[in-house]
Amino acid sequence: MTSDELKALVGRAALAEIPELPGGAVIGVGTGSTVNCFIDALATVKHKVRAAVSSSEASSARLRAHGIAVVEAAEVERLGVYIDGADEIDPRGHMIKGGGAALTREKIVADLADRFVCIADASKRVEVLGRFPLPVEVIGHAAAQIGRRFAALGGTATLRAGVTTDNGHPILDVRGLAITDPAALEAEINQWPGVVCVGIFARHKASVCLLGTPQGVETLRY
């Protein structure tokens, strides 16, 4: 199976994770090519959702194009489920996210949700996070100092060329970190002035991962 076929497989499998509610559920929807497969699958069972809270302009546009209502995060107090992809996921459900530059809104919507359902193809499964460059959304003014802080930890930070987030900020991609304690590193980086959001999702880790493998969907619970 190709990577696109695996993404389509888990996109469809995630439909079963949507709570059954009269009038449909309000769900959180992430960003990326795997989530695009989920959104396209969702369009075939629109009655299951009343509305979605989306983590990016791109996902909002795709949802609306399918006739699915999009509401702002500020309009909801909680969500039963948030469905999103990941760049890496470790054996405890900790993730690196932000390859699509949507990490800040992804963490905001994940924070509203009771459950984070990660959908990913098997290439995203790793033993230790950090082979994928760690995305960090920063205030531009602080980028050089944040880069020096990463260097002190053994990482190399580079500005992602030509990219500004939906919030108007640049992204640093940090290579060379072996993230053996994701929760501690997330907490540390969150203290640095000028960091808007770090793409380690340890506090907001996956509750379940639907992993697309050539043998089918593997369900991993954390």
In a 10 Å sphere around its CB, with 0-12 CB exposed, 13-18 middle and 19+ buried, how is residue 161 labelled?
exposed
**Residue 93, marked binder:** no
Our separate counts of H helices and E strands in the chain read: 6, 13
- The SS3 call for residue 52 is strand
100 is a site residue for ligand 5RP (CB under 6 A)? yes
Does 94 help bind ligand 5RP (rule: CB under 6 A)?
A: no
How many angstroms separate the CA atoms of 101 and 3, rounded?
A: 21
Of 17, 106, 137, 186, the active-site residue reads 106
Residues 42, 47, 48, 52, CA torsion sign: positive
Least distance between ligand 5RP and beta carbon 105 (Å): 9
121 annotated to bind ligand = no
**H/E stretch holding 84:** strand 79-84
87 carries a ligand binding annotation: yes
| DSSP codes of every residue in 51-70 | EEEESSHHHHHHHHHTT--B
Q: Which of 18, 29, 84, 89 binds ligand 5RP (CB under 6 A)?
A: 84
Q: Which of 15, 33, 48, 194 forms a contact with ligand 5RP (CB under 6 A)?
A: 33
Interatomic CA distance for residues 221 and 209, integer angstroms: 6
* 212 contacts ligand 5RP (rule: CB under 6 A): no
Identify which of residues 18 and 103 has a Cβ nearer to ligand 5RP in the complex.
103
| 97 is an annotated ligand-binding site residue | yes
Of the candidates 123, 127, 175, the residue with the CA atom closest to the CA atom of residue 153: 175
CB of 96 to ligand 5RP, least distance (A): 8
Q: Is 106 a catalytic residue?
A: yes
Residue among 34, 54, 59, 104 that touches ligand 5RP (CB under 6 A) = 34
Which of 24, 28, 99, 147 contacts ligand 5RP by CB under 6 A?
A: 99
Helix (H) or strand (E) holding 106: helix 103-112
Q: Which is nearer to ligand 5RP, 124 or 149 (CB)?
A: 124
- What residues act catalytically? 106
Binding site feature residues: 31-34, 84-87, 97-100, 124
- Write out the binding residues for substrate: 31-34, 84-87, 97-100, 124
